[in-house]
Amino acid sequence: MEDNNSLVYGLEFQARALASQQAESNDVRFFVATQSLKPNNQLHVVDLNEDSSALQSRIFSHPYGEVWRLAASAHDPRLLASCYSLLKGNGQVVMETALLTLPESLEPKDGEQQQEFLSFEHMETLATEGYGVEIRTTEFHPTDPNQLACVVDGKIVLFNRAEAATRVVAEINAKNVPKFTTGRWSHFHQGNHFIALHDCSIKSYDVRDSNHVVWSIDEAHSQLVRDLDCNPNKQCHIVTGGDDGVLKVWDFRNTKEHVFARSDHHHWIWSVRFNTYHDQLILSSGSDGKVLLTCAGSVSSEAPEVITGDGGEQGAGGEPREHLADGLLQTFDQHEDSVYGVEWSTADPWMFASLSYDGRMIISKVPKQYKYQILL
């Protein structure tokens, strides 16, 4: 796959749920699920053959409902969490979340024909009906394969699969107050902190103690905060994006002010992601139909003062090394609709996928000049 060429994968229906393979980092694999009102939704497992630059897909039937969010397990490459809505017999639309297990092999057995739609090996619905109506996300714990967190209305509900136990670790009790928007586990703090977005604010909860707010950033954005990601290489840094179109990096040891901000989007930001290996690279996507690659090198784990302690890092020829300047590096504008999801590949740190509502997933690469400037 050439650096300046993108690969386009089209789906039959509209879509907004995208996830990248987490548990194994050998193959470039993305999961994408459709959002159709008809009962024939699908989950596509899309692999990239880097030798031929061809995309290969396996399509699973997802008859449970229209998918709003997907998450891939960091422990089991075959396990996914799906948040979906379905129409009950009484005409009521309800949301559910389920764990979906892919078959051990996606290839047909000897003598069998390739089926158009494959079936999941196992499907386990999580019991969320007693906690609320609107399920925003289901997140796998970063270190404990048996633990999941589910954001339901104004609650964060913990599920322990090993003990078949559930408990509410956080709840917004006030009436007429907006519900949680989404949430993510922190990679650090022994996996005990869960960060949730609430209206314009960000709150981190210690899941060992009910409703224990560890830190809070009030009025983090001037409008609704829609997504966040935790820096995997720098313990106290998170990135957020919201309806004000601003991307912000925060050091939550100082909650009064962000450490980095860019307002290059012209509409709502729906998704933000740190690069897993080179965290100065941040992806964001929004309702303006664009995917932006931003450099926040001055506040990353690879910042000059972080690496050398004095800002005097040298390049290969003994010359002072030139770092990528902070700011917008590249605009990817191949989409024609709102881009609801963007995800880095865990197999190739320079590759990422983006998904727009019209069912178009595009796999792109970081341009060569930025890649070499980081590496050399």
8-state DSSP, 359: T
Cβ-count burial 301-324 (b if 16+ within 10 Å, e if not): bbbbebeeeeeebeeeeeeeeebb
Predicted pLDDT at 236 = 93
Provide the CA 284 distance to its chain's centre, in angstroms. Answer: 11
pLDDT tens profile 183-207: 999 988 888 999 999 999 999 999 9
Residue 84: per-residue pLDDT: 96
234: closest CA among 148, 284, 297?
A: 297
**Mean pLDDT, rounded, of the chain:** 90
Q: pLDDT value at position 307? A: 53
Q: How many C-beta atoms lie closer than 10 Å to residue 244's C-beta?
A: 19
Rounded to two decimals, what is the model's pTM? 0.92
Strand order in the sheet with 79-87: 66-72, 79-87, 93-101, 122-125
Give mean pLDDT, residues 349-374. 96
Strands 212-217 and 225-230: unpaired
**Could you tell me the domains of the chain?**
220-301+322-375 (2.130.10.10)
Do the beta carbons of residue 219 and residue 258 sit within 8 Å?
Answer: no
Helix, strand, or coil (residue 307): helix
Mean pLDDT of 320-338: 89
Select the more confidently predicted residue: 193 or 176. 193
Q: In whole angstroms, how far apart are CA 259 and each of 1, 168, 252, 279, 296?
A: 35, 32, 10, 14, 10
Tracing tokens 């009950």 back to the chain, one arrives at 88
CB-CB contact of 160 with 169 (8 Å):
no
Q: Which of 9-13, 89-93, 242-246, 342-346 has the lowest mean pLDDT?
A: 89-93
332 alpha carbon, distance to own chain's centre? 18
Residues facing 193 on adjacent strands: 206
Is the pLDDT at 89 greater than 90? The verdict is: no
> What is the DSSP track for 172-213?
--STT---EEEEEE-SSGGGTEEEEEETTEEEEEETTSTTEE
Angle at 273 between CA 270 and CA 277, to 5 degrees: 170
Range in 20-24, 112-116, 176-180, 268-272 the model is least confident about: 112-116
Amino acid at 39: P
pLDDT of residue 108: 73
Q: Rounded to whole angstroms, how far apart are CA atoms 118 and 112?
A: 13
DSSP 68: E
**Closest C-alpha to 73, from 192, 161, 167:** 161
